[in-house]
Structure 1
């Protein structure tokens, strides 16, 4: 249904993704990493259909609870998160992700669950596939500040075979 939330009809899978994120964070902790788990309130693919096509914000906009955002900002100070692992599932036209942004030298990892509806993200997906980079914009409700993660080689963040299908 047009205008419905991407998780409509797949809420049970989203709950499974949250559990996978928690298990992933626990695995990193067992391996000696300091792990921060994030719990998005909402995720929006950028640019949105209503945004200007030349928007410089390309990727996923992630709304975080204020306390988690403050903790993330503190963790980011002087730290470069330049590696990532991503785990993907797809159901009902929705892509679900668990992304682990890593700062190996500091032994830090930020683990977050994400989602987007493919039909609402086509502009983003086309541009990400063409650029070979995706960004995740994390922010508090007041949108006064942002933390931005970049993911190079984003194939595992796109629907299975997305870039290859478009090229053929």
Structure 2
């Protein structure tokens, strides 16, 4: 809940994991209407995997934040998920599952890129689906993507509110770039 000053304007709320104080990350509120479509795409993709006999875990981020390394030693995309989903992912990774393959489906609405990351372990026929979003007008996001291109890896940090996280590495950061980068 945001506090309001005596003049009725909301105070910014600080995200302790990222150090940000606005909570919007440069995302146009109108563009967020497309988030429901991304969630629907995730559900349809999960159904396709399940029709082929795969088990799926669908993550429902409450926030996706670029981490430029300014407020922590992590550089990549911070993905905040509900505790039960985090625990299920942590359990999968703890059991030895390795997501050797992944696919990225994406769309861009104005300055906002919406992506669906599908990570696969073909040997166990399990997939984790992670919807993401970011604004190309956010300098932190573009710094993260530029650094990932230079290093040849983009990292996603899936975390729960308490701050525990798992790190996922994606060795083709170009797949996550803005749609305009591909044209």
Same fold (TM over 0.5): yes
Q: Specify the alignment match of 1:80 in structure 2.
A: 98
- Measure the CA separation in 1 of the matches of 2:180 and 2:109: 15
Alpha-carbon distance in structure 2 between the residues aligned to 1:25 and 1:100: 9
Change (3 A) 1:4 1:46: closer
Asked whether the equivalents of residues 102 and 118 of structure 2 are also in contact (C-alpha less than 8 Å), the reply is: yes
What are the Cα deviations for residues 105-137 of structure 1, in whole angstroms up to 9, with x where unaligned? 111100010001112111112111212211110
1:140 alignment counterpart: 160
Q: Secondary structure at the match of 1:10?
A: helix
- Matching of residues 35-50 of structure 1 within 5 Å: 35-47=56-68
**Equivalent position of 2:114 in the other structure:** 96
Q: Compare 73-82 and 21-30 and name the one that shifted more.
A: 73-82
Asked if 1 retains the 8 angstrom alpha-carbon contact of 2:107 and 2:179, the reply is no
Tell me the SS of whatever aligns to 1:15.
helix
Asked whether the 8 Å contact 2:156–2:169 carries over to 1, the reply is yes
152-161 or 4-13: bigger deviation: 4-13
- Unaligned runs of 5+ residues in structure 1 are none
Normalised TM-score (structure 1) = 0.86
Contact 1:84 1:102 in 2 (8 A): yes
Corresponding residue SS for 2:137: helix
Structure-2 change in CA distance of 1:161 and 1:12 (3 Å): closer
On the 8 A contact 2:64/2:79 being kept in 1, the answer is: yes
Question: Aligned to 1:130, which of 143, 150, 163?
Answer: 150
| Kept in 2: contact 1:7–1:14 (CA 8 A) | no
Question: Please, which of 72, 76, 81 is the counterpart of residue 64 of structure 1?
Answer: 81
The count of residues paired between Structure 1 and Structure 2 equals: 157
Structure 2: tracts of 5 or more residues without a match = 1-21
Are residues 1:10 and 2:31 paired?
yes
Higher RCO (CA-CA < 8 Å; seq separation 6+): 1
